Structure 1
């Protein structure tokens, strides 16, 4: 159900230097110096749609000043060796590049200030075992990659509030996720999950669990009872039957929270749309897609 066998993005043949867009020219030395001065003053490194294959080495010269890097829509294949030296980096966005692994070794322990890491739509086959070293990380998004597993160390992300792992090839979620005590949102849509770990019931702050388009056929009672803040549970496109979900111990308590949420939405004057109160499951369950 994930995108493991999706064809390549076809963004060029890999020839040329760091600047590979048609007609793009590498900036002159004077332009590079001016750019570095601007980045140093603002702390914001904007590199969207530049056609680059690597992050500029000049960033190592202004490492203390860099707080934000956005290099969306490029052809970056690897992270630079100097990246761990950016100790004040708070936001790193590398959406839609060509990353297959997160190197160099030790990149995570070096990013001691990182709060947001977005790696959507790359070609990552795994996450590093030391990702748990990102102690201040609040949002991690790796949607649209080739992940089959998540490292157990992900449970060490004590500050994590949002985890997006949709559109991958995950066959299971690690029990260690229960260690992410501040997690409020878990989006694991469009994977190959059949089982929801009972250990997730330890996520007392979890508000939204998105599991659409998986192979989930049951939800553990421990999750419905234990996730006392859970208000959104979405299982559209899964083989789970509505009646079986409703008969699961703990569903009544979850359903009360869900209704309270929508009552507040209605009281605020918002419209729920044609579907009204979303049950979170499909009434007419389609057979699982062939794997």
Structure 2
């Protein structure tokens, strides 16, 4: 299931040599603009590292978008950017995020996007990012999530799709503000009952995993849950419907559907999505 840690394509030299070799330098005009606006735009620049000049304007930097480059490592000065709120590094070549203890310096970070890199794990101290509201690490090589992720008390959206996760930590229940959890296309077989502690969770995406059952603790406990997607999983519709707590969840799901219709939105040919596949083959023995 999932990408099972297959290397990502479409990065680096595969762009046909159209990169600008910016290297570690930035023009005076760029530095002046970054300093005034606090926004550092470096998308599609072909850079291999973040410019060292950012350390000289550390107090002013609020946003960095360095997506679609060839960055293999983040600089030692990054934790000094105490006012950094949004860091987007999708489509690079990162294998390690930050050294131990470095996350504690990013006290203002609210958004961290690391999709389509080569990360094998997340820092053990990622729980230090106490203001983080959105974390997206889709399309990496993660096999586990650190227990400290449960310390992200402000986290509202967690996207870990297209990795190699075999389990989700019970500590995720500590993310009391979490509304969206997207773990599609991994190798998950079991959904922790502890996730029933996520009282604000509205959407749980588990498509294309090995999930064969949903704990009743989750259906009862996640009182805001309206979307549960299990397409491509071996769980059978009748088994899900017989799970204690499903009736209550199904009522919330239908209420959401009715509100969407009342708002005049189009739902497409599928209409009210049941969240599971009707034609499900028995799970293979492993």
> What's the TM-score bracket when you normalise by the shorter of the two chains?
over 0.9
1:56 aligns to 2:24 (yes or no): no
Mapped to 2, the partners of 1:220 and 1:163 lie a distance apart of 20
What does 1:236-275 align with in structure 2 at a 5 Å threshold?
Answer: 236-275=231-270
Note the residue ranges of structure 1 that are not aligned, 5 or more in a row. Answer: 15-19
Give the 4+ runs in structure 1 shifted more than 6 A. Answer: none
Structure 2 equivalent of residue 104 of structure 1: 99
CA RMSD of aligned residues (A): 2.0
What does 1:1-291 align with in structure 2 at a 5 Å threshold?
Answer: 1-9=1-9, 11-12=11-12, 21-22=17-18, 24-26=20-22, 32-286=27-281
Instruction: Provide, for residues 96-138 of structure 1, a one-character-per-residue CA deviation record: whole Å limited to 9, x for no partner.
Output: 0000011233221000000000000000000000000000000
Shift of 1:285: 1.0
Mapped to 1, the partners of 2:96 and 2:252 lie a distance apart of 40
TM-score under structure 1 normalisation? 0.93
Describe the shift of the 1:200–1:28 C-alpha distance in structure 2 as closer, same or farther (beyond 3 A): closer
Aligned residues of 2:19 and 2:46 also touching (Cα < 8 A): no
Aligned residues of 1:79 and 1:104 also touching (Cα < 8 A): no
Shift of 1:289: 8.0
TM-score under structure 2 normalisation? 0.95
Describe the shift of the 1:42–1:289 C-alpha distance in structure 2 as closer, same or farther (beyond 3 A): farther
Q: Secondary structure of 1:252's partner? A: helix
Shift of 1:212: 0.2
Number of equivalenced pairs: 285
Aligned residues of 2:22 and 2:47 also touching (Cα < 8 A): no
Aligned residues of 2:24 and 2:50 also touching (Cα < 8 A): no
Q: Secondary structure of 1:129's partner? A: coil
